[in-house]
Amino acid sequence: MNQLYLTGFLVLTAAIAIFAIQNSGEAVVKFIGWRFQSSLVVMILISTAVGVVMAVLLSLPGTFRLRTRLREQAQRIAELEQRPREVEPKPIERPAPNVGDE
């Protein structure tokens, strides 16, 4: 699975690099009175980096929740594995069949 992620990451990186190289003109960003002028390559790389950081930050709560749940389940499994050693089930006693009662 890690190789799949690495391959996807490399393909995405190559696509971003090709896009950035082919679009190397000037870009102007205006936002609430703020004005920033730079090459389009820099804008693309900054936007991509901001997107990656936001995706990681948004996935953190779910990751922590899953890790906590996994830890709780591992503790529960350990408790349940210890239980049969503490209490052994008693064998079921069945009455012997009477051969002459037919």
pLDDT of residue 53: 93
pLDDT tens for the chain, 102 residues long, are 678 888 988 998 888 788 877 877 888 888 888 888 888 888 878 888 899 899 999 999 999 999 999 999 999 988 888 876 655 667 777 777 777 655
Dihedral sign (CA 8, 10, 11, 13):
positive
pLDDT of residue 86: 58
What separation in angstroms does the CA of 46 have from each of 14, 30, 41, 51, 53? 16, 15, 9, 9, 11
pLDDT of residue 100: 64
